[in-house]
Amino acid sequence: MFHWLRDHRRKEILQQPFPAEWKEILAEMVIHYSFLNGEEKNHLEQMVQVFTVEKNYEGCNGQEITDEIKVVIAAEACMLILGFPHDLYAGLLSLLIYPSTVVVPPPKMGVFTQSPLIEQSETAIYGQAFQRGPVILVWDEVTRGARHPESGHNVVYHEFAHLLDMESGAANGTPRLHSRDQYKIWAKVFTEEFLRLRRRSERGEKTFLDPYGALNEAEFFAVATEYFFDRPIRMEKKRKALYDVLSGFYRQDTAQRQRQYNTK
Ligand SMILES: [Zn+2]
């Protein structure tokens, strides 16, 4: 069976104890870490240790790379794969970290292509994931998401959900699932939920998930993932089928975990 620790170098990395300061960072910055039981915390910490050594973090626009940046991003990325065997995003080598919102300039247009009908706006981005390329993350948005899970937004969960999606070959909203039965139920539930979100957002009606998820199937999966980890109790209550399918894929019962934490 596949085991992520088969690698000799990884075993060596884990000879080092998990730094006490890193535990403090996790406790303070990553609310979902506090929800985990002892065994899960242990597993996550091991993945964080390996992830932070294996991945290359590059600060952009003057951003300095601190332990806090490395640990918070690694922990959230690995939270998604806590429940199933995974090779720690082996295709990902680099993370580009910007201090604040990256603004992508509008495309340049020639004299003859200019038209008042074309909206020329700059697009602000908080993160971006590329197949076999870097992940771009904006640090102030990462901290906002980590500190305010009630918003249902977490740019790290979002971008790493895209990476899981891309591992199946294309970013089409369906990651590599664990069984043939899962594909069947996934297709049914995701199609229904995606079309519902699209219909409601087109009509300007209130939507359960962020209407950004109506853009395409890949964004739907990423947006649903953010909600599954951030507001699982509400998702389980309101969109049970979607919750169950995601819980089956991530092999995590995030709602139950949060309930347990709340009653502590
Ligand atoms: Zn996206």
Is residue 74 predicted with pLDDT exceeding 90? yes
Strand ranges for 62-211 from DSSP E: 94-98, 102-104, 123-125, 127-129, 135-138
Give helix 20-29 / helix 38-54 axis angle, nearest 10°: 110
Sign of the CA dihedral running 96, 43, 243, 2: positive
Query: Distance, CA 135 to ligand 1 centroid (Å)?
Result: 11
Residues with CB under 5 A from ligand 1 (ion): 219, 222
Determine the structural domain holding residue 125 and report its residue range.
19-107+118-262
Whether 3 maps to a domain, the answer reads no
Q: How far apart are CA 258 and CA 253, in angstroms?
A: 9
Closest by CA to 126, choosing from 94, 111, 104, is 104
Phi, psi at residue 125, to the nearest 5°?
Answer: -125, 150
Who contacts 174 (Cβ-Cβ below 8 Å, separation ≥6)? 165, 168, 183, 186, 187, 190, 217, 221
Whether 4 maps to a domain, the answer reads no
Q: How far apart are CA 208 and CA 241, in angstroms?
A: 13
Query: Distance, CA 1 to ligand 1 centroid (Å)?
Result: 32
Number of domains composing the chain: 1
pLDDT category of residue 7 using cuts at 50, 70 and 90: confident
Whether 174 maps to a domain, the answer reads yes
Query: Distance, CA 218 to ligand 1 centroid (Å)?
Result: 7
Whether 14 maps to a domain, the answer reads no
Distance of CA 219 to the CA centre of its chain: 11
Query: Distance, CA 38 to ligand 1 centroid (Å)?
Result: 32
Is residue 5 predicted with pLDDT exceeding 80? no
Distance of CA 41 to the CA centre of its chain: 18
User: What pairing do the DSSP bridges indicate for beta strands 135-138 and 127-129?
Assistant: antiparallel
Query: Distance, CA 219 to ligand 1 centroid (Å)?
Result: 5
Region 246-255: what's the mean pLDDT? 98
Whether 11 maps to a domain, the answer reads no
pLDDT at 168: 85
Widest CA span in the chain: 65
Whether 35 maps to a domain, the answer reads yes
Token code pair at residue 239: 């969109």
pTM: 0.91
CB 250 within 8 A of CB 83: yes
* CATH number for 144: 3.40.390.10
- pLDDT tens, position by position, 119-168: 445 566 788 888 877 999 999 999 999 888 998 999 999 999 999 999 98
Query: Distance, CA 215 to ligand 1 centroid (Å)?
Result: 9
Whether 160 maps to a domain, the answer reads yes
In 3-state terms, what secondary structure has residue 138? strand
Is residue 112 predicted with pLDDT exceeding 90? no
Is residue 2 predicted with pLDDT exceeding 60? no
Whether 1 maps to a domain, the answer reads no
Closest by CA to 233, choosing from 260, 193, 198, is 260
Query: Distance, CA 19 to ligand 1 centroid (Å)?
Result: 33
Query: Distance, CA 190 to ligand 1 centroid (Å)?
Result: 16
Q: How far apart are CA 53 and CA 19, in angstroms?
A: 14
